[in-house]
Structures are given as structure tokens and as C-alpha cells.
Structure 1
């Protein structure tokens, strides 16, 4: 099976996730500058939320990107790579938006977690499937 279209699909999702991480990082820096906080969150809710949105993304995105890259290398069809990439991206964006709007529970935040876990399940099952010759 030709892995090149899968590599292109993986490149799309890796690129989008890197931009998402950069945007979340910039939002932390903006809050730090606004509140003149160098370290920690100084118990400022907006800064704490920005830090957690970025931190949570950095906890989940790398594992998802590894799954996407290995799926492409294993020759999974581009649609499989896109399914994992889109599900993870939607989950991470939803979670970040939900968390940035409220430090408490929210529908977007919950949906983001569910989609992220679903992407992990899809990726994990697909990896196991494509690992079997």
C-alpha cells in the first residue's frame, strides 16, 4: 500500500496540532504579560485556565501525533489517519475553548475530553490492526 497519501494526511494533522499548541502558548504569554506574572499563575483564574489549557494539550497531543505518524508509516489508509487527526484536533480545540471560558465543567470541555479519548481509542485499535501482517 502506498504510504505517501497517508504521510500527507499525517503532515496536515501534525501541522495543525503544532499551530494549536503555539496558539495556546501565546495565550499563556498574553495572560502572563497582562497580569505581570513570571512564574506560576498567582491565583489569577484567567492565567490558571490558559496554563491548564496549554498544559492539558501538551499532555494529550504528543501521544495522538505519535499514533498519527506511525499509522502513516504503517501504511494505514489516509481516511484512517484523517479520522484520528480530526477527532483529536476537534477534541483538543473543544477542550481548550471550554476551559478558557470557564474553570469549571462545561459541555465543550467534556466533549473535548470524550473526543480526545475517542481519538486515542481509534488510533490504538487502528495501530494494533495495522501491526498484524
Structure 2
């Protein structure tokens, strides 16, 4: 069963199947694309897009024993968003530009949301 609070597989009535104090330390944890980029960095994400041709990507996290699991499309979108925000000189400048430009011309909302979900 997947824990909706911690994004890992646990028995909701008992806690972590492995007895870990934090269910995300569980070897059954499934990490998403955002956590992959946070943990591995944007350059690794770009490299993954170059070398992994499949649509559904699963990569073991050797450090924690968990697995990163996400779609190629979601990784592609997140990388594009980060590149777009960085291309404007960072999140502050992108927000400023987004507020001052008509939405029909330039819409950075999704890229800003994606960038903030990774870097806060």
C-alpha cells in the first residue's frame, strides 16, 4: 500500500513494513521526479534524458535503497522548466517578467511552479 503522506509503500495500519522510524527510510520508498532532481541535480536529470530511452523510468537510489520512479515526459518538462527559469536569470527575474508581460505573449506560470517545487 502506498502511504499518501510520505510517498512510500507501507502498511497504513502498522507503519513502515521495515520498522523504520521514518517511512521514507523504508527500502520500499518510491521517490518522484522532483526528489530525483533535488537529490541528483539538474545535470544528472539532463544526462538521464540523453541515455534512458524508455517512457517509464525507474532508477535505484543506492544511498537509501529506494527507487526513483517517474515518466520521461515529467522529467523532460521539469528540465525544460528549470532551463527556462535559469535562462531568465533566475526565479526572481522570471517572476518579474511574468508579472509584467501579457499572458498571451509569455506564460511562465508552469515553469515557475516546477522550479519552486524543486528549489523552494
TM range (shorter): under 0.3
Q: Compute the TM-score of the two structures, normalised by the length of structure 2.
A: 0.27
Which is helix-richer, 1 or 2?
A: 1
Per chain length, whose mean CA-contact separation is higher, i.e. which structure has more relative contact order (CA < 8 Å, sep 6+)?
1
